[in-house]
Amino acid sequence: MANAELTRIDQRPISDNAQEIRAFMMVWNESVRLESTLKHYRQLGVHRFFVVDLGSTDGTLDLLAAGPDVHVFTTTGDADIACLNALLDAYGAGHWSLTVDADELFVYPHCEQLELPLFCRYLGHVGSQAVACVSLDMYATSPIADAVHRPGTPLLDTCRYFDSAPYTMVRTDVCPYFEIHGGVRERVFGPSAAGLAPVLSRVPLIRWQAGMRYLRGTGNVTPVAISSVLGALLRFDFLSDHHIRSGGELAFSNATNLYSDRSVKFEHSAQLVELQLMKTTHTYEESVRLTAEARAAMQSRQAG
């Protein structure tokens, strides 16, 4: 890890349970979103968080310190992808590891019914090592300045809309072997605006092993077996603090209203499958059905 050194600042014990689902983040001044994001992942089934703070001054560190399942690190030098890879090598090896930003919520088909540990168990059963995703920008029906989020409440309560189309998939020679383009940023800036219509594909969930590497953010990774199930990252950048977070660089103005005739209100994971923004398989659907039947039978026995 060149030019950077991680320092752990918490004293909490770390379990050696290989079944733990672990989440990894790098954060800076995320007090508006962080509580809501952590709550989403705890409900999903993440057991433990490893978070690198990049010098927050807005109370983010206090929020992290309050979490009994959170381990906190600081870093010197460049906090780049090498820093993240080093953190994953140290604490993610042998675990299903979810690498996300504090403004991203990972979802997958049937995530409302099937917890993340069971989803990962299915992935392991069929020989998958990772899940790829499309990143969907979420926004409100009002101007960005009016999307004021109350910390701890669901982020979807503040920004529930996304662009339903168009999205295009382009084949590449780097794992996951495709890139996804489109979405609201391309709608506003146009497809030819260099750097403003970003690649929307990510590989956030991996059963990490030492030697694996993210290459450019979490969009590309050294070769792994990518699942046929495609998930999504719901991205909540367009809250009222968007302009501050952008650091004064070219961004959507606070007065911008992103709502349009392409906007769709997010309802549930099945909706994203229907829109072909997520993908399921017959094998996965059968696994979900059998799990639901087993739970119903167990509940029936307990009631009897």
| Amino acid 112: pLDDT | 97
- In terms of phi and psi (left: phi > 0; alpha: psi -120 to 50; beta: otherwise), the region of 147 is beta
Handedness of CA 100, 125, 201, 206 (dihedral sign): positive
- Residue 190 reports pLDDT greater than 60: yes
In the DSSP assignment, the letter for residue 139 is: B
Contacts of 32 (CB under 8 A, 6+ apart): 149, 151, 239, 241
Note if the bond before 198 is cis, omega within 30 degrees: no
Range of the domain at 35: 4-303
Strand 201-207 and strand 96-99: the pairing is: antiparallel
Higher pLDDT, 236 or 5: 236
For 99-148, what is each residue's pLDDT tens digit? 999 999 999 999 999 999 999 999 999 999 999 999 999 999 999 999 99
The 3-class SS string of 225-236 reads CECCCEEEEEEC
Give how many domains the chain has, as a whole number.
Answer: 1
- Which CATH number fits the domain that encloses residue 214? 3.90.550
For 159-184, what is each residue's pLDDT tens digit? 999 999 999 999 999 999 999 999 99
What is the pLDDT of the chain when averaged over all its residues? 92
| Amino acid 1: pLDDT | 39
**Best CA proximity match to 141, nearest among 286, 16, 7, 258:** 258
Tokens, residue 88: 């994953």
For 66-108, what is each residue's pLDDT tens digit? 999 999 999 876 678 888 999 999 999 999 999 999 999 999 9
pTM of the model: 0.94
Alpha helix stretches (DSSP H) within the chain: 34-44, 60-65, 81-91, 116-125, 183-189, 242-245, 269-274, 282-303
CB burial of 138-158 (b: ≥16 within 10 Å; e: otherwise) equals: bbbeebbbebebeeeeebbeb
